[in-house]
Structure 1
Amino acid sequence: MEGLRLPRTQRRQQILAAAAQAFAETGFHGTSLADVATRVGVSQPGLLHHYPNKQALILAVLEERDEEDSRHLEETFREADPSVVDWLMALCEKNATQPELVQLFTVTAAESLDPAHPAHEFFQRRYRRIRQAVATRVELDQQKGRIDPTLVPTDLASELIALMDGLQLQWLMRPPVDMCAILRRRLERLTAAAGVAARQGGARSDA
């Protein structure tokens, strides 16, 4: 029996939430449309009315989560000039409230290494976009003296993304690590090093 009839937008959100949980638990290949339909309380044809196949469904789930992260950052820093530390910590603290979505991205990113995976291109584009966004923040911080100007922004961006991904994986394990505390300490060392470099540069110029 079909679940209670809902407005289209509300039903799609319900489907995406159920699909995100299913994909996080069993991966793309282990999840069936029938399972998602059961979780939502609709028939499989009813589910297909909104998403024509499993490939379209997982891409919709991933894109919705990325859009939500973008909205969160825009709202958080609407009237601010965030440093890369502020920006990454805001993401980490948000992720700490949604373990199911962190698990979804961790599992699906690993699966997507297969070029035949439906999310392969999504994650290729996503990592390029995130690296560029973090590198841009690093460059702005270097101009303001917050980060050592001798560091290569794209290299540092890759390092910080790898750190966050690795911490998220360990956070999902038991016992979990305190990923945001570890990340903050690493970022504070990064900005502290910039202060040391600036003082040393000033001392040399005065000599």
Structure 2
Amino acid sequence: MAERIEGLRLPRTQRRQQILTAAAQAFAETGFHGTSLADVATRVGVSQPGLLHHFPSKQALILAVLEERDAEDARYLDEVFQQADPSVVDWLVVLCAKNAQRPELVQLYTVAAAESLDPAHPAHEFFQRRYQRIRQVLAARIELDQQKGLIDPVHVPEDLASELVALMDGLQLQWLMRPPVDMCGLLRRRLARLSAAAGVAAGVAAGHGGDRSDD
């Protein structure tokens, strides 16, 4: 299905994607309250009624932008790992490298997450659910890695998951600053220490096991 807006005929899905891209840039630059539908429409080159044909409100638009970004992440990670079962280290390093290629979307999420602390913000519940989901996903991967000997079992998976989310978010915020920090480099080095600690713990455990067997 194709549609004609402002004299330009485009497939509906293509026009929708144009709007999402322009809205993501606008929300990243000026936040939810500082962005108007008229501004987004101007960036796309359509009328405001034409934009409302796709998204009935600004609230619906920002939620669509955030959900599309998460869906894009999921598709990318599925493509990279396909049938593999990545460690939490691999999973986070790949995601960080992807984010490093799209600072505008990292800024969008950073700004929107901060704004959504207000319970009246349209993305308040979105971010509550998102953080809960991410912590659950990471905790499950951490638990599997502990079973494989990749992470020291001393860590509580849910607690470590919260720490890793905080690490990612904090590094992304500093990376957006000028001068930026080496976001992915710092993340890799921190995660490498996490894996190394598991190796040390495994060696200590093996050593104690050997001592007992000699008794």
Q: TM-score, normalised by structure 2?
A: 0.95
Q: Which one of the candidate residues 200, 203, 207 is aligned to 1:203?
A: 207
List gaps (5 residues or longer) in structure 1.
none
1:21 and 2:25 matched: yes
Residue equivalent to 1:79: 83
Q: Secondary structure at the match of 1:5?
A: strand
Q: Secondary structure at the match of 1:115?
A: coil
1:49 and 2:56 matched: no
Q: Which moved more, 1:181-190 or 1:74-83?
A: 74-83
Give runs of ≥4 in structure 1 deviating > 4 Å. none
Residues 126-156 of structure 1: CA deviation (Å, up to 9, x unaligned): 0000000000110000000000011100000
Identity, in percent, stands at 80
Distance of aligned partners of 1:3 and 1:191 in 2 relative to their CA distance in 1, 3 Å threshold: farther
1:111 and 2:122 matched: no
Residues 173-200 of structure 1: CA deviation (Å, up to 9, x unaligned): 0001110000000000000000000000
Amino acid at match of 1:148: D
Residues 20-40 of structure 1: CA deviation (Å, up to 9, x unaligned): 000000000000000000000
Residue equivalent to 1:123: 127
Residue equivalent to 1:99: 103
Residues 39-66 of structure 1: CA deviation (Å, up to 9, x unaligned): 0000000000000000000000000000
Amino acid at match of 2:128: Q
Q: How far apart, in 1, do the equivalents of 2:122 and 2:184 lie?
A: 31
CA contact (8 A) 1:23 1:31 kept: yes
Deviation at 1:111, TM superposition (A): 0.1
Q: Which one of the candidate residues 184, 192, 196 is aligned to 1:192?
A: 196
Amino acid at match of 1:167: L
Q: Specify the structure having the higher radius of gyration (Cα).
A: 2
RMSD: 0.9
Amino acid at match of 1:102: V
Equivalent pairs counted in the alignment come to: 207
List gaps (5 residues or longer) in structure 2.
none
Q: Which one of the candidate residues 165, 178, 185 is aligned to 1:181?
A: 185
Q: How far apart, in 2, do the equivalents of 1:13 and 1:81 lie?
A: 31
Q: How far apart, in 2, do the equivalents of 1:72 and 1:52 lie?
A: 29
Q: How far apart, in 1, do the equivalents of 2:205 and 2:188 lie?
A: 26
Q: TM-score, normalised by structure 1?
A: 0.99
Residue equivalent to 1:70: 74
Distance of aligned partners of 1:197 and 1:40 in 2 relative to their CA distance in 1, 3 Å threshold: same
Residue equivalent to 1:168: 172
1:61 and 2:65 matched: yes
Amino acid at match of 2:196: A
Amino acid at match of 1:173: M
Deviation at 1:3, TM superposition (A): 5.4
Q: Secondary structure at the match of 1:50?
A: coil
Amino acid at match of 1:134: L
